[in-house]
């Protein structure tokens, strides 16, 4: 389907009301809400497998990226009856937080329609919040560093993982950095193992290149270095989903890339080679398919890294 007209539409047997398609949500790029919704329709086949059965964290911009914004974990009470939810106990609130779970196109478009330009997901599925399916690293550049600096660190991380017989997949954050996912899909692995392991790997990278890498969150120390953020490997945090649009000046997208693309961008000093907007991503999927598909199915053993 294409999103062309406001009003009630039926998607997968569910009725959904879509409105304000002409609202400009990216003023500097002159991109409308209708165009963003249309992108999500077209990318859905690749994106939905990365959303299914995971807790959704929504970054909402109801009036566009230059308007008011807020971060929302709990699924809004005005959600449709058919929207899947997952109740998760919150110690801080002493109550359950009912997370949205997007398992189908109607749910994806409903979330975007209420202003959720960015869609972030848990590293675990809703049926067991203590068991992540991946080990993840968020490479975030400090002041004076760009995505190419993150690319150089990502290549070192790849080498470190390869020495332990592990494969990582890489995607852009859609902002300034890169993210590396190590697929596990092992029912025996828990956050109690992955979080300290991710921290140890980040500290190893820092020890190898202390002038270029930092594993601590201290912002004052990050200038000129890349933060290897290991702290996302926990039950209550999330990372931007593959193929999510980001709320930046232009509609950039968190885009899976091939390692060869990272190597070439770093070698050629071409930061633009690792920046993709909505149209770019749709063309890439036509050419390459979902470059992040193995994150969902590949099984790997962390035993060698734990030694």
Q: Tell me the domain boundaries of the chain.
A: 7-125, 134-306
pLDDT at 1 over 70: no
Task: With a cut of 70, say whether residue 307 has pLDDT above it.
Answer: no
Identify the pLDDT of residue 245: 98
> How far apart (Å, rounded) are the C-alpha atoms in residues 181 and 132?
11
This prediction has a pTM of 0.95
Closest CA to 37 of 260, 259, 206, 251: 251
15-44 pLDDT tens trace: 898 989 999 999 999 999 999 999 999 999
Q: Length of the chain, please?
A: 307
Structure tokens at 127: 């049926």
Two tokens, residue 80: 């449709």
Tens of pLDDT, residues 154-183: 999 999 999 999 999 999 999 999 999 999
Contact 109, 103 (CB under 8 A): no
Kindly report, residue by residue over 96-108, the tens digit of the pLDDT.
Answer: 999 999 999 999 9
Asked whether 265 and 151 are in contact (CB, 8 A), the reply is yes
In CATH, the number for domain 134-306 is: 3.30.70.3300
Residues in CB range of 237: below 8 A, 6 or more apart: 122, 123, 231
Given this model, what pLDDT does residue 4 score?
53
pLDDT at 120 over 70: yes
Kind plus residue range of the DSSP H or E element containing 125: strand 116-125
Q: Which residues does residue 277 pair with via DSSP β-bridges, in sequence order?
A: 252
Question: What pLDDT is recorded for position 218?
Answer: 73
pLDDT higher than 90, residue 227:
yes
Percent of the chain with pLDDT strictly greater than 70 = 96
pLDDT digits (tens, 9 = 90+) for 126-159: 999 999 999 999 999 999 999 999 999 999 999 9
**What CATH number is given for 7-125 in this structure?**
3.90.920.10
Burial class (CB in 10 A: 0-12, 13-18, 19+), 165: exposed
User: Each residue of 190-206: pLDDT tens digit?
Assistant: 999 999 999 999 999 99
SS3 135: strand
User: Looking at residue 65, what is its pLDDT?
Assistant: 96
Nearest to 100 by CA among 109, 91, 111: 111
Residue 2 has pLDDT above 80, yes or no: no
* Residues 180-188, mean pLDDT to the nearest whole number: 95
Question: What integer pLDDT is reported at residue 99 of this predicted model?
Answer: 97
Strand order across the beta sheet in which 134-141 lies? 213-214, 226-229, 134-141, 178-183, 169-172, 256-257
CA 264 – CA 28 distance, rounded (Å): 30
CA 169/CA 161 separation, integer angstroms: 11
Read off the pLDDT band of 6 (50, 70, 90). low
Distance, in Å, from the CA atom of 202 to the CA atom of 232, rounded to the nearest integer, reads 12
pLDDT at residue number 275: 98
**Cβ distance 176 to 140 under 8 Å?**
yes
Helix (H) or strand (E) holding 70: strand 70-72
Q: What are phi and psi of 106, to 5 degrees?
A: -60, -40
**Burial (0-12, 13-18, 19+ Cβ within 10 Å), 52:** middle
Query: Could you write out the DSSP letters of every residue in 199-255?
Result: HHHHHHHHHH-TTTEE-S--GGG-TTSEEEE-TT-STT--EEPTT-B--SSS-BB--
Instruction: Give the pLDDT band (50/70/90) at residue 90.
Output: confident
> What is the pLDDT at residue 5?
55
């Amino acid at each position: 389907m294409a999103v062309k007209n406001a009003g009630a539409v039926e998607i997968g047997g569910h009725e959904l009301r879509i409105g304000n398609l002409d609202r400009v949500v990216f003023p500097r790029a002159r991109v409308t809400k209708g165009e963003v919704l249309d992108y999500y329709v077209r990318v859905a086949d690749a994106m939905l497998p990365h959303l299914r059965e995971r807790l959704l964290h929504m970054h909402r911009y109801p009036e566009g990226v230059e308007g008011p914004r807020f971060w929302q974990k709990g699924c809004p009470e005005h959600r449709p009856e058919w929207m899947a939810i997952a109740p998760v106990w919150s110690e801080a609130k002493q109550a359950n937080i009912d997370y949205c779970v997007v398992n189908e196109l109607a749910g994806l478009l409903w979330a975007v329609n209420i202003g959720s330009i960015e869609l972030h997901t848990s590293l675990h599925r809703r049926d067991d919040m203590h068991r992540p399916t991946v080990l993840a690293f968020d490479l975030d550049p400090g002041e004076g560093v760009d995505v190419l600096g993150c690319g150089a660190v990502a290549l070192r991380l790849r080498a470190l993982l390869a020495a332990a017989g592990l494969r990582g997949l890489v995607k852009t954050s859609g902002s300034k950095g890169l993210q590396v996912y190590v697929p596990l899909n092992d029912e025996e692995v828990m956050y109690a193992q992955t979080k300290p392991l991710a921290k140890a790997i980040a500290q190893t990278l820092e020890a190898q290149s202390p002038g270029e890498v930092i594993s601590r969150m201290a912002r004052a120390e990050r200038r000129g270095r890349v933060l290897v953020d290991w702290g996302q490997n926990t039950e209550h945090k999330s990372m931007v989903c593959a193929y999510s649009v980001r709320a930046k000046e232009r509609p950039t997208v968190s885009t899976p890339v091939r390692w060869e693309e990272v190597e070439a961008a770093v070698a050629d000093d071409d930061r633009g080679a690792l920046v993709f907007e909505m149209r770019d991503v749709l063309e890439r999927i036509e050419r390459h398919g979902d470059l992040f598909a193995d994150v969902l199915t590949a099984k790997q053993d962390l035993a060698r890294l734990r030694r």
